[in-house]
Structure 1
Amino acid sequence: MLLKRSRSSLLQIRWKYWFKPWQQMDWLLLSLPVGLTIFGGIMIRSTELNQGLTDWWWHWLIGGIGCVIALLLARLRYENLLQWHWITYTLTNISLTAVMIVGHSAKGAQRWVNIFGFNVQPSEFAKIGVIITLAALLHKRTAANLDNVFRALAITAIPWGLVFIQPDLATSLVFGAIVLGMLYWANANPGWLILMISPIIAAILFSISWPFTIAFSEDLKFGLLGLIWSVAMGIVGWRTLPWRRFYLSAIGAWGLNMFGGELGLFAWNHVLKDYQKDRLTSFINPNADPLGAAYHQIQSRIAIGAGEWWGWGLFKGPMTQLNFVPEQHTDFIFSAVGEEFGFIGCLVVLAVFCLICLRLLHVAQTAKDNFGSLLAIGVLSMIVFQMIVNIGMNVGLAPVAGIPLPWMSYGRSAMLKNFIALGIVESVANFRQRQKY
């Protein structure tokens, strides 16, 4: 009897010894993405059932490797990233520059580098580099001061520009979401954040001709909605910018939006590729080109609608099994969920993502320092934006942007990046102040 008790005690000691490095980890935060990865592999298998492909197997393999990396990162102190943040930033920019030199193109964009026979997308890992760099910059000098905001924007501008000229508009938008989320968490005035994104909205509104447009040339047009928006932003600048002379704030914000509108028109006419224009125009009016640029989105909506409440069942969705939805295993994996598991299945997937976001927010709130908190918020901003845009484009509420659904869409670089980001957040959770009992 005593021998059994001693063996049991010895096993408990060994168990505690081996798992002590992960004692404070948020196991729910890890298990939910693992569950999504497994489910994502099943859905990828469904989209490829009649094609003889093995992307579902690769999805699980890369997910398993990513999970191991996340567990290893959770054991390492995240504070060490502070010492290496400039090196991380430099490597990020070097990798993005290498894409333009030795990278190869696909679908009109040069985004991939071949490493030992595998295509690696550096822009995915650049998201983590930007998160680490911004967290290091803002953890002591908060965004409550405009100088620090401009400093953070200037640092982000280099990798953002390198990604934008690949061209990879979708990833550059993810960078913007990360910056906005982290600046807000670092006490930036919400009015400043509105002013930051206002030129993009102005660029859209300036191109809308309703109810009338004043046109001086092809690149110089003034839409009424754009003018109204610019005046409104002038008022926001007057109320929020800390300049002594209020008219400088108002005129500066108004001029920024006027310039943004004209820059948007110039980019439309001379910068954006044809496929990028097609994606935007097909989103606004999908029936204008139902067999061309709008085909993906229309087919996705039909598949989701066909699922009704409970879906057709796994491996039984006609749109999925007959391959009517292009790129379904990557950008449009959510349409397979909608068709085969219906509205209820979509709600379950959304609930899992919401729970992941809540756990990320909890880690940010309970982190022992600003650096760890900002790291968690950066990852949260990245996941939320990618989830909203991907699901939005599947149901027709957002233009097709080529943004994968985290842990579910097939994509080896994206999968590894998501688990690396998760491992960094788990390190923040693991090295919080020990709870007292």
Structure 2
Amino acid sequence: MLRILSSLRWKYLLAPWQQVDWILLIAVAGLTVFGGIMIRSAELNQGLTDWWQHWLIGGIGLVLALFIARCRYENLLQWHWVIYTLTNISLLIVIFIGTTAKGAQRWIGIGGFNVQPSEFAKIGVVITLAALLHSRTAATIPSVIRALAVTAVPWLLVFIQPDLGTSLVFGAITLGMLYWGNANPGWLILLVSPIIAVILFNIYLPAWFAWTATMSFIAWRTLPWRWLGALGAIAVNFAAGQLGFILWGLLQDYQKNRLILFLNPEKDPLGGGYHLIQSRIAIGAGELWGQGLYQGTQTQLNFVPEQHTDFIFSAIGEELGFVGGLAVLFVFWLICLRLVVIAQTAKDNFGSLLAIGVLSMIVFQAIVNIAMTIGLAPVTGIPLPWLSYGRSALLTNFIAIGIVESVANYRQKRLKY
């Protein structure tokens, strides 16, 4: 009898979270705990206490996620313009009274803590785009233009801080949600084509000609005004190449190095290439099984700058080796899988789009951060979700998971999968 009563009591306590995706919640909580362990290792000889602050903020974030999961996500539809307005206001405040650090003005001091509004702005963009694409899908060009116009305002406010990394995340969120919102894939390729055109125009002109011809064909096949669209694609890619060439000439040498130094960091081993060289040495030193927790030479001797934040994966690679890095990648894959399942089983387009927006945010940040630490991408300052130290980023990720868990929790019926 006592066993039955105990079982009923637990069922009663867990009733508000009956359909929550516990695998997803356990995965992000596990990454947060593991992140605190690796942060402690990265700053063991520095006398810092960021590791327990990481756990503290993570605990607060977990409670917040569980609370949000109990609230009906549909209510966000009524408040999405308010959320959008508050997002832009917070980004404007940063411009006027923000705190400057490391050459960027991104933080607001509140109660002795530095809050980074651009992190929370990611959630604002996800909610706003989900609401817009819920009311009108991205199957038409006007709908796509409306979504891009709405995203352009916070994107510009973040870009001028300057915060290139977060502005790139905004782009990834927008593309992912437009694709899920039924936008023609050809249109999305055309949207990113000017970026590729800039790179190819300055590196290898024949490749730029081939790319422009391909974009012209895609425009001819996908846009309603075939020949006009094809000519427009050629004009846009040509203008992008020329503009990129002009802007490249205006950049200072150190700015150019930051963008291309990852291709050959040995060109400036004591300057801009130092981070990348030391990070690659650390990960390579880990080999298969790693040197052991708290035993990594690069990590313990503080050779890698910002190792407890943006370069936390280098500490994982050195001390836990290829196997440890692979385990981290598996957990991220599991998180992404659960987000896709929730998106597919959501009861409406709004909930499905919220899950895909969060998925796009997490996938892009994880790929770019890990690619940065192993020398396959330039240093952008994008943290590794739930592992890198950063209070605003950690809270943002937990709030995002809370919203997605609300989508899972309020499905029309319990689904077996």
Question: Does residue 219 of structure 2 align to residue 237 of structure 1?
Answer: yes
Q: Which of 38, 51, 56 is the matching residue for 2:33?
A: 38
C-alpha spacing 1:436/1:307, structure 2 compared with 1 (3 Å): closer
Deviation, structure 1 residue 378 = 0.2
Q: Which of 222, 225, 249 is the matching residue for 2:207?
A: 225
Task: Give the structure-1-normalised TM-score.
Answer: 0.93
Q: Which of 119, 123, 132 is the matching residue for 1:128?
A: 123
Per-residue CA deviation, residues 354-375 of structure 1 (Å, 9 max, x unaligned), is 0100000000000000000000
SS in 2 for 1:112: strand
Contact 2:66–2:402, Cα closer than 8 Å, also in 1: yes
Question: Does residue 193 of structure 2 align to residue 182 of structure 1?
Answer: no
Question: Does residue 276 of structure 2 align to residue 300 of structure 1?
Answer: no
Deviation, structure 1 residue 148 = 0.3
SS in 2 for 1:368: coil
Write the distance in 2 (CA, Å) between the matches of 1:273 and 1:383. Answer: 32
Letter in 1 for 2:280: R
C-alpha spacing 1:125/1:273, structure 2 compared with 1 (3 Å): farther
- Alignment correspondent of 1:353: 332
Question: Does residue 344 of structure 2 align to residue 365 of structure 1?
Answer: yes
Contact 2:266–2:273, Cα closer than 8 Å, also in 1: yes
- Alignment correspondent of 2:373: 394
Write the distance in 2 (CA, Å) between the matches of 1:175 and 1:288. Answer: 31
Write the distance in 1 (CA, Å) between the matches of 2:253 and 2:40. Answer: 32
- Alignment correspondent of 1:260: 240
Map residues 8-407 of structure 1 onto 2, 5 A cutoff.
8-208=3-203, 210=204, 223-243=205-225, 246-270=226-250, 276-407=255-386
Deviation, structure 1 residue 254 = 1.1
Deviation, structure 1 residue 288 = 1.1
Write the distance in 1 (CA, Å) between the matches of 2:145 and 2:228. Answer: 18
Write the distance in 1 (CA, Å) between the matches of 2:254 and 2:84. Answer: 31
- Alignment correspondent of 1:428: 407
SS in 2 for 1:260: helix
Per-residue CA deviation, residues 256-310 of structure 1 (Å, 9 max, x unaligned), is 111222232344344x676543221211221211111011011100000000000
Letter in 1 for 2:238: M
Write the distance in 2 (CA, Å) between the matches of 1:28 and 1:436. Answer: 15
Write the distance in 2 (CA, Å) between the matches of 1:301 and 1:159. Answer: 34
Calculate the aligned-residue CA RMSD, in Å. Answer: 1.4
Contact 1:181–1:381, Cα closer than 8 Å, also in 2: yes
Deviation, structure 1 residue 436 = 7.7
Letter in 2 for 1:261: G
Write the distance in 1 (CA, Å) between the matches of 2:345 and 2:412. Answer: 9
Per-residue CA deviation, residues 70-121 of structure 1 (Å, 9 max, x unaligned), is 0000000000000000000000000000000110111111111111110011
Per-residue CA deviation, residues 328-364 of structure 1 (Å, 9 max, x unaligned), is 0001100011100111111111001001000000000
Contact 1:95–1:122, Cα closer than 8 Å, also in 2: yes
SS in 2 for 1:79: helix
Letter in 2 for 1:310: W
Contact 2:109–2:115, Cα closer than 8 Å, also in 1: yes
SS in 2 for 1:405: coil
C-alpha spacing 1:273/1:153, structure 2 compared with 1 (3 Å): farther
How many residues matched?
416
C-alpha spacing 1:357/1:431, structure 2 compared with 1 (3 Å): same
SS in 1 for 2:192: helix
- Alignment correspondent of 1:216: none
Deviation, structure 1 residue 255 = 1.1
Letter in 1 for 2:47: G
Write the distance in 1 (CA, Å) between the matches of 2:256 and 2:124. Answer: 29
Question: Does residue 398 of structure 2 align to residue 419 of structure 1?
Answer: yes
SS in 1 for 2:135: coil
Write the distance in 2 (CA, Å) between the matches of 1:158 and 1:394. Answer: 31
C-alpha spacing 1:130/1:274, structure 2 compared with 1 (3 Å): farther
C-alpha spacing 1:373/1:274, structure 2 compared with 1 (3 Å): farther
Per-residue CA deviation, residues 180-203 of structure 1 (Å, 9 max, x unaligned), is 100111111111000000001111
Contact 2:263–2:375, Cα closer than 8 Å, also in 1: no
Identity across aligned pairs (percent)?
70
Contact 2:126–2:354, Cα closer than 8 Å, also in 1: yes
Contact 1:386–1:403, Cα closer than 8 Å, also in 2: yes
Write the distance in 1 (CA, Å) between the matches of 2:65 and 2:256. Answer: 38
Contact 2:263–2:376, Cα closer than 8 Å, also in 1: no
Contact 1:227–1:258, Cα closer than 8 Å, also in 2: no
Stretches of 4+ moved more than 6 A in 1? none
> Structure 2: which 5+ runs fail to align?
none
SS in 1 for 2:109: strand
Per-residue CA deviation, residues 104-159 of structure 1 (Å, 9 max, x unaligned), is 11111111111111001100000000000000000131111111001100000000
Deviation, structure 1 residue 228 = 3.0
Structure with greater proportional helix content: 2
SS in 1 for 2:114: strand
Letter in 2 for 1:370: N
| Greater mean deviation of Cα atoms: 231-240 or 406-415 | 231-240
Contact 2:339–2:359, Cα closer than 8 Å, also in 1: yes
Write the distance in 1 (CA, Å) between the matches of 2:96 and 2:247. Answer: 24
SS in 1 for 2:378: coil
